[in-house]
Amino acid sequence: MTDTRVWTSSDSAVGERERPASERAQEHVCPECGGTLVTDEEHGETACSDCGLVVEEDGIDHGPEWRAFDSRERDRKARVGSPTTKMMHDKGLSTTIDWQNKDAYGKALSATQRRKMQRLRTWNRRFQTSDHQERNLRQALGEIDRMASALGLPETVRETASVIYRRALEDALLPGRSIEGVATSALYAAARQAGVPRTIDEVARVSRVDEEEFKRTYRYVVRELNLEVAPADPVSYVTRFASELGLSDEADRLAREMLDAAKERGIHSGKNPVGLAAAAVYAAPLLTDESVTQGQVSEVADISEVTIRNRYRELLAAYEEAGAAVA
């Protein structure tokens, strides 16, 4: 008759320590030939890699009961919490207590339970930010997330901006500068690096610092952290401007061709990329018989009509030269 006993985790841990090392070593050795034992988790068997003796069968599968065929499906089905992220000051490892005073069944909590939950939320917030540096980081990452949402920036840009801000905090670049200013600079630099730039005016509108402080802090952060930020490409603004103006794909393509022609002749050097993009978006629809005014383009690109007219003439001249050269 087999003696069956239920072991707890503490019993097994204590028993494992009390057993001699020679006994524990024998568990990994084949009793028949002394070879190495290998566990086949798919079939639930433990067998000898030399002689093939099956030492144990019907093993317990400690993995999940579901299958996944790619990383996205695996992340969706996993029930072990969210992955760590640089976008949260504690990397997403802390506990979050819901603000709604309801239980798991959706029923409202009693007055006593509500007071208890409020105390737990208060202490939970205090434990999450134990020092001034963590409070600083929490406020800054919240600002980055708010501005990125207002500007429609993807999650990759937010992650990069969070990393840039963390580097600035570690290198002690914050003293003498506002948290909002460094956070805005980190987000603007991240957007430029990711190839989804926003204009300085667009970023300044959603920031809580004035434009001059933002520009000054941005130059300081880029210089001190040695960030590789390439000059903004006018082409990267075209699709967004054309979409907001409701232009056709043909006009979008033609605007890109005009900017490419301008680059080949060096017209873009030293000029505002937003102004060049706005001029291309204004000139292209005129060549495709679409209706768009300088005022509309000026409002979308947040650039003056005078700048659009000046760049417009230069782009047309470069495009005509390129066409003549091809002909």
Query: Is 94 labeled as ligand-binding?
Result: no
Which residues, at least 6 apart from 193, have a Cβ–Cβ distance to it below 8 Å?
160, 227, 228, 229
Query: Is 51 labeled as ligand-binding?
Result: yes
Amino acid (one-letter) located at 151: L
Burial class (CB in 10 A: 0-12, 13-18, 19+), 290: middle
DSSP for 17-79, written as a single string: HHS-HHHHHHTTB-TTT--BEEEETTTTEEEETTT--EEE-S----S-SS--SSHHHHHHH--
Query: Is 30 labeled as ligand-binding?
Result: yes
Q: What is the 3-state secondary structure (H, E, C) of 75-129?
A: HHHCCCCCCCCCCCCCCCCCCCCCCCCECCCCCECCHHHHHHHHHHHHHHHHHHC
Per-residue tokens: 235: 């082409």
How many residues are listed for the chain in this entry?
Answer: 327
Vertex 52: Cα angle to 49 and 53 (nearest 5): 115
Per-residue tokens: 59: 């093993």
In the chain the first and final C-alpha atoms are separated, in Å, by: 97
CA distance 248 to 301: 17
Closest CA to 128 of 93, 165, 100: 93
Amino acid (one-letter) located at 249: D
Closest CA to 283 of 326, 327, 323, 252: 252
Annotated binding site: 30, 33, 48, 51
Annotated binding site for Zn(2+): 30, 33, 48, 51
